[in-house]
């Protein structure tokens, strides 16, 4: 598993270098070069159960959150590493704090200046930082694949919705059935240059 993750991260870094080089070689119509690097804060939540019940959604929002930063390299085709501190309150009352590290590759499909739409996907690693109740059976790290879409509004507000799939033996069956599985990740952030 570690070899596979290492190869994925190496491939993503190579891909981001190629994307950066392509962006540098494109011709600009204006005298000023547009920057191809953005960064900013991002907050989010994982929704583990599909529902339209207001109370169930509120309970899910109260029980977990993530806050961190993201970096985006490239324009149309981009590499976006993210770093989040996450907190999850389990049904038992135990609180788990983690470091989440998604490594997304994205493609901007539509860019109308005021609004743009993109798709993205890539691996996500999660590392246990602290737990309020020690559970010796709890994994210290986990790996998932995420894929989704998002929009950028006014050039500086970014909203992403991603479907998560655990990278384990049940992954193939989960993908084939397109079940909710590991849940949906929703993030909202601000982009700065």
Query: What CATH number is given to the structural domain containing 163?
Result: 2.40.160.20
> What pLDDT is attached to residue 116?
94
* Phi, psi at 33, each rounded to 5°: -80, 135
43-54: burial string, b at 16+ Cβ within 10 Å, e else:
ebbbbbeeeeee
Evaluate if residue 177 carries a pLDDT over 50: yes
37-47 and 141-153 strand pairing: unpaired
Q: How far apart are CA 6 and CA 18, in angstroms?
A: 18
Q: What is the pLDDT of residue 182?
A: 62
Is the CB of residue 67 less than 8 Å from the CB of residue 84? Answer: yes
Higher pLDDT, 1 or 139: 139
Structure-model confidence comparison of residues 134 and 99, the more confident one: 99
pLDDT(97) > 80: yes
Provide the domain count of the chain. 1
Phi, psi of 61 (to 5 degrees): -65, -35
Domain encompassing residue 59 = 2-190
- pLDDT tens digits along 2-36: 555 555 555 555 555 555 454 445 444 444 566 68
State if pTM tops 0.85.
no
In this predicted structure, the answer to whether residue 49 has a pLDDT above a threshold of 90 is no
Q: What is the mean pLDDT of the chain?
A: 80
pLDDT score at 153: 95
* DSSP track, 108-136: EEEE-SSEEEEEEEEEEEEEEEEESS--T
Instruction: Check residue 71 and give its pLDDT.
Output: 96
Choose the weakest-confidence range: 28-37, 48-57, 146-155.
28-37
Whether the predicted pLDDT of 86 surpasses 90: yes
């Amino acid at each position: 598993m570690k070899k596979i993750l290492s190869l994925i991260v190496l491939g993503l870094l190579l891909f981001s270098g190629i994307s950066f080089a392509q962006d540098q070689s494109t011709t600009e119509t204006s005298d000023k070069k547009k920057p191809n690097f953005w960064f900013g804060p991002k907050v989010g939540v994982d929704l583990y159960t599909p529902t339209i019940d207001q109370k169930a959604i509120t309970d899910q929002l109260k029980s977990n959150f993530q806050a961190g930063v993201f970096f985006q390299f490239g324009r149309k085709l981009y590499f976006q590493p993210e770093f989040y501190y996450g907190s999850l309150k389990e049904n038992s009352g135990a609180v788990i704090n983690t470091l989440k590290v998604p490594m997304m590759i994205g493609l901007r499909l539509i860019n109308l200046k005021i609004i743009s739409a993109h798709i993205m996907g890539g691996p996500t690693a999660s590392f246990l930082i602290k737990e309020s109740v020690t559970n010796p059976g709890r994994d210290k790290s986990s790996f998932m694949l995420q894929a989704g879409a998002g929009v950028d509004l006014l050039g500086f507000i970014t909203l992403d919705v991603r479907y998560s799939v655990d990278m384990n033996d049940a992954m193939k069956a989960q993908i084939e059935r397109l079940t909710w599985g590991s849940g949906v990740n929703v993030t909202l952030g601000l982009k700065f240059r």
